[in-house]
Structures are given as C-alpha cells and as structure tokens.
C-alpha cells in the first residue's frame, strides 16, 4: 500500500511544470459538467410550468429559455474543445519530460545493466508505456472530476425531485462497485502480463531486424517466422485473457446502467398510477438517468486507463529506481593534464557476485607513451581488463591508477574524455560520414574532421563517394566495407585526440589489404600515446614495447616479442600456431 502511495505521489509531481494548463483543464471540465446538469433542469421548468402559462407569455419564455439552452450548449462545446486540445497537450508535454528523464537515466546506467537487458524491453518503456501514462495523466483527473460532479449533482437534484425514485436508482450503485472491484483486480494482472509479452515481442523484432543479414545468409526466414509466431501467439493468449475480463467488465456495467433505467421507469409508472409522481418528474428522472449513468461509463474508461497507465508507470519507475552502479564519488576531481602512466595494483574482477573471477590479482605498470600488447586465449579476460580502465566496469579488488590517481576518485566524464577506444565491432550511427567522425568531438569544425580523416587514411575513400563527407552510410554503416568502417572509427579517435588508447582486436576481422591500411592508421594514432592493444593476430604487435600473456590464472609472461620467443613458453606456442 505504501509503495502505491509513493508511486502516486511521484506520478502527481509530473504535473508541476504544467500546473496552469492542468488547472485550466479542470476548470473547463467542471464548467462543462455543471452545464450538463443545468440543461435538464431548464427542460423540467419548461415542461412543468412554462407550457401551462398563457400562450403569448409561454412562447416568449420558451424562446428566451431556448436561447439560453443554445448558449449553454455552445459553452459546453467550448469546454470540450479546450479539454480535448489543451488537455492532450498537457499530457504530451508530461510524456516528453518523462521520456527525456528515462532516456537520460539510460545514459547513466553501466554496461553491467545492459548485459542483462534486451533492447525491446527498454524501448517499450520509452514508447508504449509512456503513451499510456500520458493518457492517464490527461484523462484521469478530468474524468474523475466530471464524473463526481455529475454523479453527486444528479443525486442532489433527483433527491429534490423525488427521494423514493432516487433511492431506487442509486440502489444499484453498491452492486456496480462490487462488480467493478472484482474485475478490476483481474484486469490489472492481465494488463501487466500484456506489457511483459509485448516487450518480449518488441525485443524479438529488434533482434531479427538487426541481424537480418545473418538470417538471410542462413536462409532461416522460415525459422524466424516460426519463432516470431510462437511469441506472437503467447501475446495473443495474454490479450485473450485481458479481453475476457474486459468483456465481462464492460458488458456487465452496461447491463447495470440499463437496469437502472428499467427500474426507474417501472417504479415511476407505478408511482404515477398512485399519484405520488407526476409525469414531468418522471421525464426529468429519465433525462438525468443519462447524467447518472454516464459518469459510471467514464469511470469504466478511467479504470481501464488507470490499469494501463499505472502499470506502465510502475515499469517506468523500475528503471528510474535502478541506481547506476558506476558513478562519480562525492567530491571526485576532474582528470586533467594526463600524461598516461597507468598502473594495475592487485586488480581482481568478477561480473556478478556469484560468478568466478575473470581477473585474479593482476599487477603491472605502463609508462606514459608506451605501447603494451595483451595476448592470450579467448576468455582469459583481455577485453575485460581494458574495459576496467575507462570504468565500464569497476574492479572488485585492488585499484587502477592513472598518473598516480585512483580512477574511482576522478569524474567519469573527464576519465573517458582522455581515453580513445577502437573496437573490432565498429558502431556507426545512422547519418552522414561527417556526423559519425564528428562524434569524437562534437564541436569540431569541418576542417578538423577532414584532417582527422586524412590521418586515418580515410579521406581518399570518402571523397570517392559522390556526396563525399555528406554520404549517408545507412543503418550501422551498412553501405561501407569493414575496413572503411574501421578507418572512420579511427578518424573519430584522431579527432578526439586522447592521451590513452585501447585497440580491442581492431584488425582481426579485416582482409589482408584492409588490415595493412588500418594497421598503418593505428600506428600513426598510437604515436606518443599510452596504448593498449588486444590482439589475436600476433604479427601486428611485434613492435610493441612490452607484451603481456594473460591466462585464466593471471599474467603468465611479459616481455618484448623477441624475449618471449626466446623464452619458448605460452607466447611462442601462440605465435607459431
């Protein structure tokens, strides 16, 4: 219960920047509801009094009241227009703020979070969940206000007209409440299951579309269709369950509202026969029955919106409540004037608490400007070791120093600004070549981008395209070859110009010709910078000042290429293989 109250308070806070438009929306909702209540009273006055006056007087009065009714209808129309337009704008603005908040939070979460998440799940929280929250925040308050005014107002007015008929009409309310409460609980469970299933389906679609070339290369379209069909069927099954409860919920409540009309009509007819009720009062009752049943229908819609929106908000809060496990410590200093001395002191690391250690008591030092190569079998922890330097993960034991400072004592932004990474799997964003290179330094001029491209041996192939630097490279750079993509990533790091570099098997997926060009670019980039190179192709690291041979037991050998060959150990076996 306390959790729900806390979440509701958090939800209400999002109205803060839009209080003006929110209260205006409620004002017009109240005005529209009051007008709706007033119209049947005017009709009752005409049918019970005015029609019995002298013809001329009655005609003039009816004309005046008719004009008043037209004005009231126009006022109600204006209120509804304001509610429909500005109410939706308020909801959309809140949705935009929430989307900005969750996207910003995504940027703060570490690699460990993304290692355990699917993109489809994360995407559904930014799209469908937030849309449902927006609909709740817009329609919810006005629907409640309108419903209460009409419900209470119609009760007060009908009680003044005839208390016995009012009691008969409102006797159905407890039955309606119990019925709604029963199905509400079941609907909430069903909607939550729907959310989980559609997120899973979104993830499957994203996975398929991202890997469509692999799918086609293996001619596995039919297999993918079967997998998608299974997920789609599970989603439909969960939908069926929610629709079953919705059908019983809507149809049952609609039947109850019809029974109210039937009950009032039958009781009213009996009272007319006894002389306890006049026909005009029964007409008024029947006119107000709509004002009595309409709020119930609005509440039906509200409960459905609430289930959707509140379930979405709970999922939204789940993400926001996840604290980044890697963040700046209080009082962290910016890392400035970096030379590039790096020391690992008794460093150990495991990905999760219950997992075995990937690195175990690793100690070594790299002087500023040195070129260090790391080799070893797959799974030895080479990439993990280098991922600890920019704090993509935090060490679980020991510490890493840059220029004598523990990297946990400096700000993440300043740390990562001083490190450039070139990976085997290059990620390029949709857009132009210019945009992708400039990502290394967003404020860079075109001249600086071109200079960085020349240094990365990329300028020539870029200019061979008809649009040059304005060439659109497609999703993830699909229009470029592996070597071209790699050179763009190197140009991006040249533009960033960091004092520390990490090359993570940057040439292992390239053909010999591309590898030669890229290797030349990498050597240019590494000049006078502290450089870590993870390599499978040992021919590319023969010029490294020092080579570390990493195994599951830690660093087993270290030395230059020549020294390690002469030693005749693990490195020699790897090199000859």
Residue 3's pLDDT band, with cuts at 50, 70 and 90, is: low
Mean pLDDT of the region 106-112: 83
How do residues 485-537 score in pLDDT, each as one tens digit?
888 888 888 888 889 988 887 666 566 666 777 777 777 777 888 989 887 77
Domain map of the chain by residue range? Answer: 2-320, 342-576
- The CATH number of 342-576 is 3.40.50.300
Give the model confidence (pLDDT) of 331-351 as tens digits.
889 988 989 999 999 999 988
Nearest to 304 by CA among 241, 242, 255: 242
Of 254, 297, 288, nearest to 268 (Cα)? 288
Contact (CB, 8 A) for 156 and 148: no
171-177 contact pairs (CB < 8 A, 24+): 171/263, 172/256, 172/259, 172/260, 172/263, 175/256, 176/253, 176/256, 176/296
The full DSSP string for 101-119 is HHHHHHHHS-HHHHHT--H
Contact 498, 417 (CB under 8 A): yes
Superfamily holding 2-320: ABC transporter type 1, transmembrane domain (1.20.1560.10)
DSSP string for residues in 52-72: GS-HHHHHHHHHHHHHHHHHH
Give tens-digit pLDDT for 296-319: 777 777 877 888 888 888 888 888
- Share the mean pLDDT of the chain: 84
Order of all β-strands in the sheet with 342-349 = 359-366, 342-349, 397-402, 405-406
Degrees to nearest 5, angle at CA 550 with 545 and 552 = 175
In the numeric block, which tokens belong to residue 172?
A: 């159905």
The single-letter DSSP state of residue 332 is: P
Residue 288 contacts by C-beta under 8 Å, 6 or more apart in sequence?
40, 154, 157, 158
Of 441, 484, 482, nearest to 463 by C-alpha is 484
Report the pLDDT averaged over residues 72-87.
Answer: 91
287 in Cβ contact with 139 (< 8 Å): no
- Give the list of residues 6+ apart from residue 463 with CB closer than 8 angstroms, or none: none
Distance separating alpha carbons of residues 437 and 473, to the nearest angstrom: 12
């Amino acid at each position: 219960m306390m959790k729900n109250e806390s979440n509701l308070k958090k939800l209400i806070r999002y109205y803060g920047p839009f209080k003006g438009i929110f209260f205006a929306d409620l004002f017009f909702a109240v005005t529209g509801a009051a007008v709706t209540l007033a119209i049947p009273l005017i009709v009752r006055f005409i049918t019970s009094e005015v029609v019995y006056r002298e013809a001329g007087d009655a005609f003039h009065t009816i004309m005046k009241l008719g004009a008043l009714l037209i004005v009231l209808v126009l006022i109600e129309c204006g209120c509804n227009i304001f509610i429909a337009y500005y109410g939706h704008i308020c909801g959309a603005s809140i949705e935009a703020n929430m989307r900005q908040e969750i996207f910003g939070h995504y940027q703060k979460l570490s690699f460990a979070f993304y290692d355990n998440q699917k993109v489809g799940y994360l995407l559904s929280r930014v799209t469908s969940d937030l849309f449902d929250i927006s609909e709740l925040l817009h329609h919810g308050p006005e629907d409640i206000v309108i419903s209460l005014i009409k419900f209470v107002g119609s009760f007060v007015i009908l009680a003044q007209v005839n208390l016995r008929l009012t009691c008969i009409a409102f006797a159905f309310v407890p039955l309606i409440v119990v019925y709604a409460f029963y199905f509400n609980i079941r609907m909430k469970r069903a909607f939550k299951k729907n959310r989980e299933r559609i997120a899973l389906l979104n993830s499957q679609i994203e996975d398929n579309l991202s890997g469509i070339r692999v799918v086609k290369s293996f001619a596995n379209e039919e297999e993918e269709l079967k997998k998608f069909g299974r997920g789609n069927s599970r989603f439909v099954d969960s939908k069926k369950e929610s629709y079953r409860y919705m059908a019983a919920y809507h149809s049952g409540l609609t039947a109850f509202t019809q029974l109210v009309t039937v009950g009032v009509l039958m009781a009213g007819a009996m009272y007319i026969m006894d002389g306890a009720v006049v026909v005009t009062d029964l007409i008024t009752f029947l006119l107000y029955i709509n004002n009595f049943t309409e709020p119930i229908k609005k509440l039906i819609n509200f409960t459905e919106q609430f289930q959707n929106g509140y379930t979405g908000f709970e999922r939204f809060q789940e993400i926001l409540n996840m604290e980044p496990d890697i963040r700046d410590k209080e009082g962290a200093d910016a890392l400035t004037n970096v030379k590039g001395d790096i020391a690992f002191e008794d460093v150990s690391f495991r990905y999760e608490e219950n997992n075995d250690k990937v690195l175990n008591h690793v100690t070594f030092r790299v002087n500023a400007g040195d070129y260090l190569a790391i080799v070893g079998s797959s799974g030895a922890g080479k990439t993990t070791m280098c991922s600890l330097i920019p704090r993509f993960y935090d060490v679980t034991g020991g510490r890493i120093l840059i220029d004598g400072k523990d990297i946990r004592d400096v700000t993440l932004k300043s740390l990562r600004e001083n490190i450039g990474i070139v990976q085997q799997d290059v990620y390029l964003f949709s857009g132009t070549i210019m945009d992708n290179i400039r990502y290394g330094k967003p404020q860079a001029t075109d001249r600086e981008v071109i200079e960085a491209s020349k240094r990365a041996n990329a300028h020539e192939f870029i200019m061979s395209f008809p649009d040059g630097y304005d060439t659109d490279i497609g999703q993830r750079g699909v229009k470029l070859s592996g070597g071209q993509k790699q050179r763009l990533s190197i140009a991006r790091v040249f533009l960033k110009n960091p004092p520390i570099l990490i090359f993570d098997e940057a040439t292992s997926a390239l053909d010999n010709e591309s590898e030669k060009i890229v290797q030349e670019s990498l050597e240019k980039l590494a000049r006078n910078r502290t450089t870590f190179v993870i390599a499978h192709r040992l021919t590319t690291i023969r010029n490294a000042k020092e080579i570390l041979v990493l195994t599951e037991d830690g660093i087993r050998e270290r030395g230059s290429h020549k020294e390690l060959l002469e030693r005749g150990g693990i490195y020699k076996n790897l090199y000859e293989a």
